[in-house]
Amino acid sequence: MGMSEFYGIGDEGESIATIHRALDLGINFLDTADMYGPHTNEELVGRAIASRRDDVVLATKFGVVRTADPANRAIRGDATYVRQACEDSLRRLGVEHIDLYYQHRSDPTVPIEETVGAMAELVAEGKVRHLGLSEAAPDTLRRAVATHPIAALQTEWSLWSRDLEVDVVPTARALGVGIVAYSPLGRGFLTGGLTSPDDFGAGDFRKFLPRFSGDNLEHNLALMEQVRTMADGRGCTPAQLALAWVLSRGDDVVPIPGTKRVTRLEENASASDVVLTEGDLDVLDAAFPPGAAAGDRYPDMAAIEAATPQA
């Protein structure tokens, strides 16, 4: 996502080099969406993997509809739209099939059975291999699974976003649905490199997010110091510690940290070498219980919401 929008100015050459380096390191799961750009991120990913398609488990999403007006955004899950969105994504990505196809957000006006039923037709036709949902409520997930197997649920999960552990994670596990954790670095906050709204350049949506402003930011910076202290003691970076914590949640959890640069990619990849003890996990659980972070994940104001992504 960040390679094309929301996190400041992108660099296509560096982005493609980052994707290639990921594949070289054995990181083969790439996640995009038709609304990133909008549309241009799928094209970028398509160019990056054109000669390496067999090396990639490719995921994309549909359902968030954007127009030239950034304040005009809608959710669609009707069968007609599902099919058209898939055809458009296949064309932009330059591939014959999508490995994991997500509904980006649930459409409150369309029964989930209709949406997943249309997605299942794409599986039967060989255009899609597996189905997923993003940010779906437990009941929605149950109804979806009753319509067609759901391979993965994508949802935000990190040290400062743990509310899903109450009911979403148990439901997914009871249904045999894997969990793809987006924003496992708290949109960059858990790297320790963001300390002020002045750190955000032009085009960076994080300046609008409640957790990055005012008293919320001061509260969250105090939490961040505990991550920094533990990371220093373990000989790793805060980002690697935060990712190691997500990896410790279970073998059914796949974090997808976003990055635009090779150096950050390599740092993130090394998180798999960080071993957290039970004592470490107890300390982190005490420091970051559900609800510990101050501020909502997304802003409430419609005008600001138009500037935020649906990761």
Cis amide linkage into residue 184, ω under 30° from 0: no
User: Which one of 7, 36, 101, 182 is the catalytic residue?
Assistant: 36
Residue 152 has phi, psi (to 5 degrees) of: -150, 145
Residue 36 among the catalytic residues: yes
CA nearest to 63, candidates 7, 167, 140: 140
> 223-243 b/e with 16+ CB inside 10 Å = b?
bbebbbebbeebebbbbbbbb
Rounded Cα distance, 256 and 167, in Å: 21
Region for residue 121 given its phi and psi (left: phi exceeds 0; alpha: psi -120 to 50; beta: otherwise): alpha
> 178-203 b/e with 16+ CB inside 10 Å = b?
bbbbbbbbbbbbbbbebeeeeebeee
Both tokens assigned to 165: 């552990």
What sign has the CA pseudo-torsion 270, 61, 5, 209?
Answer: negative
Rounded to 10 deg, the angle between the 138-147 and 112-124 helix axes is 40
Residues assigned a catalytic role: 36
